[in-house]
Amino acid sequence: MSGGSARSLGKGSAPPGPVPEGLIRVYSMRFCPYAQRTRLVLTAKGIRHEVININLKNKPEWFFKKNPSGLVPVLETSLGQLICESAITCEYLDEAYPGKKLWPSDPYEKACQKMVFESFSKVPPLIARILRTQNKEDCSGLKEELQKEITKLEEVLTDKKTTFFGGNSLSMIDYLIWPWFERLEALELNECVDQAPTLKLWMAAMKKDPTVSSLLTDVKTFQGFLSLYLQDSPEACDYGL
Amino acid sequence: MTDDATRTLGKGSIPPGPVPEGVIRLYSMRFCPYAHRTRLVLRAKGIRHEVININLRNKPEWYFTKHPFGQIPVLENSKCQLIYESVIACEYLDDAYPGRKLYPYDPYERARQKMLLELFYKVPHLTKECLVALRCGRDCTDLKLALRQEFCNLEEILGYQNTVFFGGDCISMIDYLFWPWFERLDVYGIADCVNHTPTLRLWIAAMKQDPTVCSLLTDKNTFLGFLNLYFQNNPAAFDYGLSC
């Protein structure tokens, strides 16, 4: 595995030096789904990169100079340019680097993928809320909402009659939504795709993709991380190292 | 008078036919800020288009075949392709049509504009909440404070960049995406929210000199007429100011 398995940097750590030419740096966290989007694109496009993991429960002071919100992922180029927000980092990488384009070249097809992305955007905050909810009643209400959103995606994919959301090969939209589907099993939310056979097929196809499978985290490791993370432990981000 | 000065279509109206080749259709409403973004881009790029205004309080049944929730703006082309979400529609137009590119070519500069758009995300909601509060006679001190804070953030960026526009020294996509809410500050009764942001005021003045922005400016009395009827829940609001 690449530098993605390095210990995270926390408070008091020395700020990293400038990014060497010919490389791009991603500030990340091994279990963060948003940062996983960026790592998927970096890997899919074969972009030479280095990963600096940030301890999100004990953030280094210097990291706020990279992103005032203190969130990952952040890209930093050898020119010192900083790009934040996972979807923006993914689009930047697709535009700035040669090789296989992950966004379709047809403007309408690209717009379609962005409309699916918009539709998907309710899922991450829902899952985050489910994780934080102790109350069983609230939880089942949230799971119902999640079910509704997943049903919408099932309909989109069924209508398209293709394996992936962008057609018969993997493209940007698949990578952008994948990290949350990868986590369904570890979060014990697999029931939400029970009524979504097309999505289940998509998930199986995604797991076979070399890029996706190279960045897969096993269920036990993720659960180990999650348990510590929900307790605000500064050890969470390095679980399993 | 702009090219969208047509009466709205409502319940019971006949669905419009297919879009003729060589033209793109925009489903819109004359006073909607989100649709305003798309109209700005259509005009800035000189794209041949037709506008169908939708009565948002009395939506035609057929309109839900254009958008699942009946929202605007929606673009429809002659291939029956539908594009919605104002930002996606604007990007589609910039990608699909030749001529002047509104987003920069450089990937980093494009990313910067998209990051700026993220910074703007609270503004539409806050301006609308201020408007509603004022119209309902409620106190909106906290809301205005929050809005001023957002404007301070934008002021800082302009100051740091030392450029006239958000994308540089020429107007570009990000400026058009922000503009509709700034145009509405005065008629919403919250123009004082830019009292402490001089660079933002300079930007507003520069925007008003842009030919595209200028050509789509709605006069204050017409807008007030719309707002008055809108807050009385009168479906005639959307056609306020049309002579025919």
Label residues A116-146 b or e (16+ Cβ within 10 Å = b).
Answer: bbebbeebeebbeebeeeeeeeeeeebbeeb
The answer to whether residues B129 and B204 belong to one domain is yes
- CATH number of the domain residue B39 falls in: 3.40.30.10
Structure tokens at B173: 């996509």
Residue B8 falls within a domain, yes or no?
no
Which of B32, B90, B130, B193 is an active site residue? B32
Which of A32, A90, A192, A237 is an active site residue? A32
pLDDT at A4: 59
Give the position of tokens 């719309």. B226
User: Is A118 in the B-facing interface, judged by CB distances under 8 Å?
Assistant: yes
The answer to whether residues B111 and B205 belong to one domain is yes
Cβ pair A91:B114 closer than 8 A:
yes
Chain A residues with CB-CB distance to B76 below 8 A: none
d(Cα B104, Cα B171) in Å, to the nearest integer? 11
Cβ pair A95:B110 closer than 8 A:
yes
Q: Is the peptide bond before B20 cis (omega within 30 degrees of 0)?
A: no
d(Cα A32, Cα A72) in Å, to the nearest integer? 8
Closest partner CB to B85 (pick from A88, A91, A118): A118
Which among A39, A2, A87, A35 has a CA at the least distance from the CA of A211? Answer: A39
The answer to whether residues B189 and B119 belong to one domain is yes
User: Is B67 in the A-facing interface, judged by CB distances under 8 Å?
Assistant: no
Residue A114 and residue B91 in contact, taking contact as beta carbons nearer than 8 Å: yes
The answer to whether residues B83 and B115 belong to one domain is no
Residue B214 falls within a domain, yes or no?
no
Which among B64, B124, B113, B123 has a CA at the least distance from the CA of B90? Answer: B113
For chains A and B, count residue pairs whose Cβ atoms are closer than 8 Å.
Answer: 51
Domains of chain A: 24-101+220-238 (3.40.30.10), 107-208 (1.20.1050.10)
Predicted TM-score (pTM) above 0.90: yes
User: Is A160 in the B-facing interface, judged by CB distances under 8 Å?
Assistant: no
Let me know how many helices (H) and strands (E) chain B has, helices first.
10, 4
pLDDT at A25: 98
d(Cα B112, Cα B75) in Å, to the nearest integer? 26
Mean pLDDT by 10 residues, chain B (244 residues): 82 97 97 98 97 96 96 98 98 96 97 97 98 96 97 96 96 98 97 97 98 97 97 95 81
Contacts 24+ apart (CB under 8 A), B96-104: B96/A107, B96/A108, B97/B45, B97/B47, B99/B45, B99/B46, B100/B44, B100/B45, B100/B46, B102/B41, B102/B44, B102/B45, B102/B172, B102/B173, B102/B176, B103/B172, B103/B173, B104/B167, B104/B168, B104/B172
Chain A residues with CB-CB distance to B160 below 8 A: none
The answer to whether residues B115 and B191 belong to one domain is yes
Question: Does residue A237 have an active-site annotation?
Answer: no
Structure tokens at B234: 């009168």
Closest partner CB to A92 (pick from B85, B96, B107): B107
Chain B residues with CB-CB distance to A91 below 8 A: 110-111, 114
Query: Rounded to a whole number, what is the distance in Å from the CA of A219 to chain B's nearest CA?
Result: 33
Residue B71 falls within a domain, yes or no?
yes
The answer to whether residues B71 and B157 belong to one domain is no
Chain A residues with CB-CB distance to B118 below 8 A: 85, 88
Domain interval for residue B174: 107-209
Residue B203 falls within a domain, yes or no?
yes
- ipTM passes above 0.85: yes
pLDDT digits 0-9 by tens, B91-127: 999 999 998 999 999 999 999 999 999 999 999 999 9
pLDDT digits 0-9 by tens, A55-72: 999 999 999 999 999 999
- CATH number of the domain residue B198 falls in: 1.20.1050.10
d(Cα B158, Cα B152) in Å, to the nearest integer? 10
The answer to whether residues B39 and B95 belong to one domain is yes
Residue B19 falls within a domain, yes or no?
no
Kindly give the parts of chain A with pLDDT less than 70: 1-4
Cβ pair A95:B107 closer than 8 A:
yes
What sign results for the dihedral spanned by CA atoms A77, A80, A85, A87? negative
Residue B215 falls within a domain, yes or no?
no
Residue B162 falls within a domain, yes or no?
yes
The answer to whether residues B80 and B128 belong to one domain is no
- Residue B47 per-residue DSSP state: -
The answer to whether residues B111 and B204 belong to one domain is yes
Residue of chain A whose Cα is closest to the Cα of B86: A115
Closest partner CB to A107 (pick from B84, B85, B92): B92
Chain B residues with CB-CB distance to A115 below 8 A: 83-85, 88
The answer to whether residues B76 and B91 belong to one domain is yes
Residue B1 falls within a domain, yes or no?
no
Query: Rounded to a whole number, what is the distance in Å from the CA of A102 to chain B's nearest CA?
Result: 15
Counting the structural domains of chain B, the total is 2
